[in-house]
């Protein structure tokens, strides 16, 4: 029996030696999985904070951009959204905001402006995320739009109508390019400044 026991022990020792590398690899993989899992949990927590900040930002976005991001914002608001889908929706919002902020856009847009009777169509030109002008060409009236603490706000500026009409004409290549001073607001200040 001792010979049989010794043979069994030798086989066991040989098997342990042969599987030691595999066990080390498995342990290393388990450590990596744990670290990755912890990293994903930290990233997901940060992503949730960013998601909440983006949702709070939405009322301050230009109306055209906010409407264009409706689907992404609906996804962000979903409570059952997984980390990868949350990341995709978050990146969609961030990328579209960066893209919008780098351009001047001009088109017709239906807006609800405080003090005006219901939603109406205006010619609107946006200077990125900073401000925009809504023009009622028929009535020759203009509103300056900008992000305010309580969201995107439109403020009447009837004196700017001729300049905004000219600005839109330049944008649409219907007039020669030139500097056109139009009203603007700097950093949520209530004082007006002229801006090219």
**Which two three-digit tokens encode residue 194?**
């002229």
Total domains in the fold of the chain = 2
In a domain, 171, yes or no: yes
- Shared domain check, 128 and 83: no
- Shared domain check, 134 and 109: yes
pLDDT at residue 1, as a whole number: 61
Neighbours of 177 (CB within 10 A): 8
In a domain, 9, yes or no: no
The pTM score is 0.73
- Shared domain check, 120 and 86: no
- Shared domain check, 165 and 126: yes
In a domain, 189, yes or no: yes
CA–CA separation, 138 and 5 (whole Å): 103
Low-confidence ranges of the chain (pLDDT < 70): 1, 187-196
Among residues 133, 120, 68, 71, the alpha carbon closest in space to that of 97 is found at 68
pLDDT at residue 195, as a whole number: 43
Its domain, for residue 59, covers: 22-100
- Shared domain check, 89 and 34: yes
Cβ neighbours of residue 144 under 8 Å, at least 6 residues apart?
Answer: 131, 132, 133, 154, 155, 157, 160, 183, 184, 185
Domain boundary (61, 77, 100) is at 100
With beta carbons less than 8 A apart as the criterion, state whether 124 and 134 touch: yes
64-113 residue pLDDT tens = 999 999 999 999 988 888 888 888 999 999 999 999 999 999 999 999 99
Domain boundary (52, 82, 100) is at 100
pLDDT at residue 59, as a whole number: 95
Among residues 148, 194, 186, 142, the alpha carbon closest in space to that of 168 is found at 142
């Amino acid at each position: 029996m001792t010979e049989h026991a010794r043979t069994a022990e030798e086989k066991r020792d040989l098997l342990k030696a042969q599987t030691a590398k595999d066990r080390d690899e498995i342990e290393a993989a388990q450590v990596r999985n744990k670290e990755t899992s912890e990293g994903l949990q930290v990233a997901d927590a940060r992503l949730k904070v960013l998601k909440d900040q983006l949702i709070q930002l939405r009322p301050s976005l230009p109306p055209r951009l906010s409407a264009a991001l409706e689907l992404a914002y609906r996804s962000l608001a979903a409570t059952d959204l997984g980390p990868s889908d949350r990341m995709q929706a978050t990146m969609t919002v961030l990328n579209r905001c960066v893209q919008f902020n780098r351009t001047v856009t001009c088109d017709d847009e239906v807006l609800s402006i405080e003090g005006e009777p219901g939603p109406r169509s205006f010619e609107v030109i946006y200077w990125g995320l900073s401000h925009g002008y809504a023009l009622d060409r028929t009535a020759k009236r203009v509103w300056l739009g900008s992000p305010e603490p309580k969201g995107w706000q439109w403020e009447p500026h009837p004196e700017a109508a001729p300049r905004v009409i000219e600005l839109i004409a330049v944008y649409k290549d219907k007039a020669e390019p030139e500097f056109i001073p139009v009203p603007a607001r700097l950093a949520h200040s209530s004082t007006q400044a002229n801006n090219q």
